[in-house]
Amino acid sequence: MSIGGYAHDASGDVVPRSKARPSVVHTDATAAVAADAEIAQMSEADLLAGIDRLRTERDAVILAHNYQIPAVQDLADFVGDSLQLSQQAAATDKSVIVFCGVHFMAETAAILSPDKTVLIPDAEAGCSLAASVTADEVIAWRDEHPGGVVVSYVNTNADVKAVSDYCCTSANAIDVVRSVPEGRDILFLPDMFLGLWAERESGRKLHLWLGECHVHAGFRPEHVLEALDAHPGSDLLLHPECGCVSQCMYHVAEGDIPADRTHVLSTGGMVRYAQTTEVPVAIVGTETGMLHRMRAENQRTDFLPLSESAVCEYMKTITVPKVYRSLRDMVDVVTVPADVADKARLAIDRMVATVPA
């Protein structure tokens, strides 16, 4: 295995390259809502009624990711993971898509539905993982592996997708990796934890990019062991982006963590788990927005966060007033240059077509 996206620290050790993480502390959309005279007079009920009226007038569908705040999930027409939202965006017959998620997701919707207007309520809703690799870096990495196949996690910007062969989500990463013809080098980016998991589960050797999501990388095996100690008999659900998955699997192999109660699941897989489980307690290792959806699906089970601080500020920057403003003013429109979109669409189409087994 070779690795990409690394640097050496002062002692010469290999470490992930430090990247500028986008900030949502002061966004233009936040400032616009704060200065908006109409919104200042509106109650939450007024905003929701206004969104319903505008949704019809604009012929719009509102899509929300599982990590959105509960109020935004509740007003959406469809809530799902990246793959499900991409499929919804590709299939909708509405004229306008309001994408309540982060920017690369809205870009993907714009690529899949070039004849629709795609809006994002806060255009600065970025992603630390998507920011960990650029298109030029992919091209340079590819040059080191002639004939290699680039598999990009969907958490990448459109220009990175455009220089990739396949896209995948956590829901279908294993199936996408398995679909690459045998004998080809596979360059997997940008999430190293998802890559390690896909490598183990698929049985294919991968070259990994050293990128990570700051939310999921924060989970440590000691968090898991403490939570299992506090709630004996509970199930453990881990998103494959979590920084602890590989080490947790080591503990599973050692018998420290019960194998039959440990599940590595995409966010869509977590929803399906919630719909059917009968366990009294499940500890959920992903962004805390997931809990709202799981609790709505199942009131029998107590769904507890592995970490209360696993909160993505990019997802949480989308609010009800911003959704209202987005529909009222038709802002911000997400566009992708046609030449980039045409190349990225090939990789995304392979992702959408690869339904998880």
Q: What is the contact surface with ligand SF4 in residues (CB under 6 A)?
A: 102, 127-129, 155, 213, 215-216, 287, 312, 314-315
Closest residue by Cα to residue 15 from 149, 211, 261, 238: 211
Cβ-contact 169, 84 below 8 angstroms: no
Specify the residue, 118 or 228, whose C-beta has the smaller distance to ligand SF4. 118
Kindly state the smallest distance separating residue 311's Cβ from ligand SF4, in Å: 9
Give the residue carrying structure tokens 């590819």: 142
Specify the residue, 62 or 102, whose C-beta has the smaller distance to ligand SF4. 102
Who contacts 37 (Cβ-Cβ below 8 Å, separation ≥6)?
Answer: none
Q: How many CA atoms lie within 13 A of 202 on its CB side?
A: 24
Specify the residue, 257 or 315, whose C-beta has the smaller distance to ligand SF4. 315
Kindly state the smallest distance separating residue 106's Cβ from ligand SF4, in Å: 12
The stretches of the chain forming alpha helices (DSSP H) are 28-34, 37-40, 44-57, 70-75, 82-91, 103-112, 135-143, 158-162, 173-179, 192-202, 221-230, 245-254, 267-276, 290-297, 313-316, 320-329, 338-353
Specify the residue, 131 or 257, whose C-beta has the smaller distance to ligand SF4. 131
Kindly state the smallest distance separating residue 38's Cβ from ligand SF4, in Å: 30
Kindly state the smallest distance separating residue 135's Cβ from ligand SF4, in Å: 18
Specify the residue, 162 or 312, whose C-beta has the smaller distance to ligand SF4. 312
Kindly state the smallest distance separating residue 127's Cβ from ligand SF4, in Å: 3
The separation between CA 11 and the C-alpha centre of its own chain, rounded to angstroms, equals 33
Distance (Å, rounded) from C-alpha 123 to C-alpha 120? 6
Specify the long-range contacts of residues 274-281, CB closer than 8 Å, at least 24 apart: 274/298, 274/301, 274/303, 277/235, 277/301, 279/233, 279/234, 279/235, 280/233, 280/234, 281/231, 281/233, 281/234, 281/235
Kindly state the smallest distance separating residue 163's Cβ from ligand SF4, in Å: 20
Kindly state the smallest distance separating residue 58's Cβ from ligand SF4, in Å: 26
Kindly state the smallest distance separating residue 193's Cβ from ligand SF4, in Å: 11
Specify the residue, 78 or 204, whose C-beta has the smaller distance to ligand SF4. 78
Q: What is the DSSP string of 316-350?
A: HT--HHHHHHHHHHT-PBP---HHHHHHHHHHHHH
Specify the residue, 166 or 314, whose C-beta has the smaller distance to ligand SF4. 314
Specify the residue, 104 or 324, whose C-beta has the smaller distance to ligand SF4. 104
